[in-house]
């Protein structure tokens, strides 16, 4: 391993030696201490690997926008990260997520002096609410809005279309994560 190897060093310490000296035990110890300090500082600052999301319900039904990419990504995320059972019938679920609206929009942000588009703004708005099968609200009607701006150049139209598709996918992933955090913060009605 890098912390236990002995390597020849030049007398000046500037490179490999042509003969003589090895890395001292103190140098190896310094490397180990530095590695431990780095790990300790990551733990101290609150860094941790994202684990499973804990949701206050075991089963969830999703009503509205069933076959959209948003709901497909949300179901995949819920099954993988939150370990929540997705059921088809709302009466079988502990909670029901109602997707009231899922709207994507593209608008002109800036124009050049010649009237050509220089920047676009992409927006995704999701209106939703969460209730149980009897209608008691976990989360009242709420909105998640995600925006991305991107520059546009007529001479790079094909590349900009690809960039737009990547931004839309990134926005959707961001919206799913925001929705997941809101579901995790939901309070049981009553």
Domain boundaries, the chain: 1-48, 59-184
pLDDT at 81: 75
Of 124, 133, 123, 55, which is closest to residue 98 (Cα–Cα)? 133
What one-character-per-residue DSSP string does 41-77 give? HHHHTT-----PPP-S-SEEEEESSTTSHHHHHHHHH
Options 3.30.160.150, 3.20.20.10, 3.90.1150.110, 1.10.760.10; CATH of 59-184:
3.30.160.150
Q: Are 23 and 32 in contact (CB under 8 A)?
A: no
pLDDT at 175: 95
pLDDT at 45: 59
Mean pLDDT, contiguous 10-residue spans, the chain (190 residues) = 53 51 71 72 54 82 90 90 85 94 92 87 95 91 94 82 90 94 88
The model's pTM is: 0.68
């Amino acid at each position: 391993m890098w912390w236990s190897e002995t390597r020849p060093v030049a007398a000046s310490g500037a490179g490999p030696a042509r003969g003589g000296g090895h890395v001292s035990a103190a140098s190896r110890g310094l490397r180990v201490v530095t590695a431990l300090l780095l790990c300790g500082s990551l733990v101290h600052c609150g860094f941790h690997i994202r684990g499973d999301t804990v949701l206050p319900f075991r089963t969830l039904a999703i009503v509205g926008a069933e076959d959209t990419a948003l709901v497909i990504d949300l179901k995949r995320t819920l099954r993988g990260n939150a370990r929540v059972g997705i059921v088809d019938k709302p009466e079988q679920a502990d909670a029901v997520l109602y997707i009231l609206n899922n709207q994507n929009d593209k608008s002109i942000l800036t124009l050049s002096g010649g009237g050509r588009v220089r920047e676009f703004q992409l927006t995704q708005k999701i209106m939703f609410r969460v209730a149980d099968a009897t209608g008691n609200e976990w989360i009242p009607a709420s909105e998640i809005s995600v925006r991305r701006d991107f520059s546009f150049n007529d001479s790079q139209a094909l590349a900009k279309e690809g960039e737009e598709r990547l931004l839309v996918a990134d926005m959707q992933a961001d919206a799913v994560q925001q929705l997941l955090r809101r579901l995790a913060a939901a309070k049981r009605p009553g």
